Structure 1
């Protein structure tokens, strides 16, 4: 018997159809588009070293006007937290900020630490659900732009 209503698609399915990995990424991209903020999505990789091996990380968004890197997170699992600590240690001039679905979520059932508390402890700026307008309006800094350009330039040399 045919369905009386069309099959519903999930937020994630809609986001994936647009080229994103999550509904939150799709939402943030839509907000940036509506605000006419130029950005790139997963357009470059940051190399960092996990003890005993080299790894690469592809940030979600890079705000073109000021060089701020924004990573959106629904779940912030141990591997992601370790990765971001290593990247920050190895690239201290990069400005990576996190947008969570809910920063008040605990990092585990056994822990009192929330995503927000972890960010504050480790020196990451964070927000809930959307990129704050203040981040978009923030002017670029020389250190941030130099660090970002060094990564982008090293990748363009490798591709040639």
Structure 2
């Protein structure tokens, strides 16, 4: 780089939020009744983030996740199960 920055520059001093555009294809949807049902075996962090975003951006839709094993932990070293995560996130769930 070579050039020196002036005192008006702060190093990592400001967080800039950003979003990435994605598309969500629900497993089952009733667009008239505004209900979404997802069927899940695994529920990785990427899917959990997606479901939180969908819930936030489409608050008029009811979302239910049907788990093969709702008591599976979200990570090896976590006490939180898939069902616990849904309860904390305000998302309905049931055992498939």
TM-score normalised according to structure 2 size? 0.76
Q: Which has the higher contact order (CA 8 A, sep 6+)?
A: 2
Q: Which runs of 5+ in 2 are unaligned?
A: 1-17
**TM-score of the aligned structures, taking structure 1 as reference length:** 0.47
Name the one with the larger helix percent: 1
The gaps in structure 1 that reach 5 residues or longer are: 1-50, 130-160
Q: Determine if the alignment matches structure 1 residue 72 to structure 2 residue 39.
A: yes
Describe the SS at the equivalent of 1:55: coil
Shift of residue 65, structure 1, vs aligned partner:
7.0
For residues 116-159 of structure 1, the C-alpha deviation after alignment (integer angstroms, 9 at most, x for no partner) is 00000000110011xxxxxxxxxxxxxxxxxxxxxxxxxxxxxx
Aligned residues: 79
Tell me how large the CA RMSD over aligned residues is: 1.5
Structure whose alpha-carbon radius of gyration is higher: 2
1:54-74 per-position Cα deviation (integer Å, ceiling 9, x unaligned): 110000002467332100000
Aligned counterparts of 1:88 and 1:65: Cα–Cα separation in 2: 17
4+ residue stretches of structure 1 with deviation over 3 A? 63-67
